[in-house]
A and B are shown apart, each in its own frame.
Chain A
Amino acid sequence: MTHSMTRWSAARTEEIEALRRRYPTDHALLLPVLWIAQRDFGWISHDVMELVAETCRTSPAHVYSLATFYTMFELEKPIRYHIQVCNNLSCSLCGSEGILAHIEKRLGIRAGEATADGRFRLTAVECLASCGTGPAMQVNDAYYEKLTLEKVDALLEEWMK
């Protein structure tokens, strides 16, 4: 019985079945499969949740509870550049508040908001384990460390092109 309109590619099905052999329960596949889904489909829509639920033999409601508990799953269409500036103590001691304020000014948005063109979202996040190389930010999958206003400007210029 299938409800989801979304389907895995053949290669992906093979990858998931190989993973399934690594866990004694289907339930334990949930986080790995959510990651695969996010990589393939860009974000975790309700339809994708149904697909993940079928794959891991659980309820869509349970998948929903996980996708909302863990902060790294995208529940909306992803944005081109998700800028996440560390706001914790070590980075703040090294000036991350100034970095965040500068990006807010440059993008014309506050932390927690996205630009009107949908290209940038800015978030103040918790410790990225970059305390020795702060101030730090994560943009999509990459870390940017020892930030200065000049470094941030150069990056923003590049991304705004």
Chain B
Amino acid sequence: MIAETILLKARMGNTDSHTLASARAAGAYRASAKTLAAAPEEIVQLVKDSGLRGRGGAGFPTGLKWTFLPKNRDATYLCVNADESEPGTFKDRLILEEDPHLLIEGIVIACRAIRCAHAYLYIRGEFCLPHERIRAAADEAYAAGLLGPNAGGPGQAIDLTIHRGAGAYICGEETALLNSIEGKKGQPRMKPPFPTNVGLFGKPTVINNVETLANLPFIVEKGPDAYRAIGTEKSPGTRLMSVSGHVERPGVYEVAHGVPMRGLIEDLAGGVRGGRKLKALIPGGSSTPVLTAEEAYAVNVDFESVQAAGSMLGSGGCIVMDETTDMVWALDKLAHFYAHESCGQCTPCREGSGWIAEIVRKIATGKGTRADLEKLESLAAQIVGNTICVFSDALAMPVVSHVTKFRAEFEAHLADRASSSSAAP
């Protein structure tokens, strides 16, 4: 039996856990107060030593990202990515709703570390309650002097502006997010230059995910060794796993990196619904390659183990599908999502996502042919790497993995499948 390891969820679950009074009574802002005595470089070193990796999807080492900022700079921005939109992922929402002060404390620590005087928090437009909660928390923090003109020490301002998105999945891509704050369409930018050199309003900028920042208070307060004592060597700390789909108890579970995926599904999420068997599992949000039941039960919940199995831990959005699931139907849902959300900037993605969705629908409704299935695979191969951002990869990975691993199901849907054509002379 595995159990949760609670770092980030420690204060959650009470009806007033989102208020400053409640959060402070349980220790909030002790760590950020500690950083006031530290030099920014010391905080960066602490985070580097902790081995903290980004929780938005790519798993990039946070401290290392911070060191990419140029030494001489006149302004630095921190952008908090709260545009949680990856299907299957709902953990940042939990932090925003239940412990927004954990996030604000993390923001204050990050601002001290990278010498940022103004952070922008980009929150997805649909998040009404989370938006209400983070705004109220920011107001409380301003009133208590935890944000504002002297929040980083005498005369050292740390301002936080909450910026609401308006319905576009692509704005979770970090450079699209920057463009969206600047009042442009949320379309990704060419890299290089990377945001740490030329970011928001042309200034050096760090973009960090909500959950990533929420780890900072623990790291500062208990130290990198205590953090590294949890999880694996390459994936220290805990992970908020969003578990959804065919399980008895869907929800956000906080586990130490390295626990078996089977434990997460069976012990914490109560197993596959109705005593059925697992057929497939998407481990890290809809963009990550699907795993067969056998693969899923062999992996652990950490970056390196899921990667070794040919997928990614991504945003930790775990979608569980039982033995009754039609995998062509499942891919149809995802393909239509990506066709809807392509920003339209690059031709291979704009056109390719539409064609892929159309072909998958054709196969799902029994009208597809063997040639369509081949076209689907060739389209997926052609869009990868040929666009400004990784959206096309995010679409191609589910397509390729579904078709490859569940090929027999796709073939059984074809209008010219072997069983019917064998009747022909």
Contact = CB atoms under 8 A, between A and B. Distances in A.
Nearest to A92: B333
A127 interface: yes
Contacts of A29: 183
Given A70-B186, A89-B334, A131 B319 contact: yes
B217 interface: no
Interface stretch (A6-14, A135-143, A148-156): A135-143
A128 interface: yes
A81 interface: no
Given A90-B87, A129-B89, A131-B317, A72 B167 contact: yes
Interface in A64-98: 65-66, 69-73, 87-90, 92-94
B183 A66 contact: yes
Given A71-B168, A72-B166, A142 B128 contact: yes
A132 B333 CA distance: 17
A112 interface: no
A93 B321 contact: yes
Given A27-B183, A72-B125, A89-B87, A132 B243 contact: yes
A127 B183 contact: no
Nearest to B180: A31
Interface in A111-131: 126-131
A34 interface: yes
B396 to A, nearest CB: 17
A89 B84 contact: no
B128 to A, nearest CB: 5
Interface in B106-127: 118, 124-127
B337 interface: yes
Interface stretch (B29-37, B156-164, B354-362): B156-164
A110 B333 CA distance: 18
Contacts of B159: 22
B133 interface: no
A35 interface: yes
Contact of A35 (B86, B166, B245): B166
A65 B179 CA distance: 13
Contacts of A31: 163-166, 180-181, 183
Interface string B166-190: 1111000000000011111110000
Contacts of A89: 87-88, 245, 282, 286, 319, 330, 333-334, 337
Nearest to A38: B166
Given A72-B125, A88-B333, A132 B183 contact: no
B128 A141 contact: yes
**Among B124, B129, B166, B201: residue with most chain A CB under 10 A:** B166
Nearest to B187: A69
A133 interface: yes
Contact of B127 (A65, A129, A134): A129
A13 to B, nearest CB: 19
18 contacts: A22-B159, A31-B163, A66-B183, A66-B185, A71-B168, A72-B126, A88-B337, A89-B245, A89-B282, A89-B286, A90-B87, A90-B88, A92-B333, A127-B87, A132-B90, A132-B242, A132-B244, A138-B126
Given A27-B182, A58-B183, A90-B319, 14 more contacts: A25-B183, A32-B163, A72-B126, A88-B337, A89-B282, A93-B246, A93-B320, A93-B330, A94-B244, A126-B169, A126-B341, A129-B90, A131-B245, A132-B242
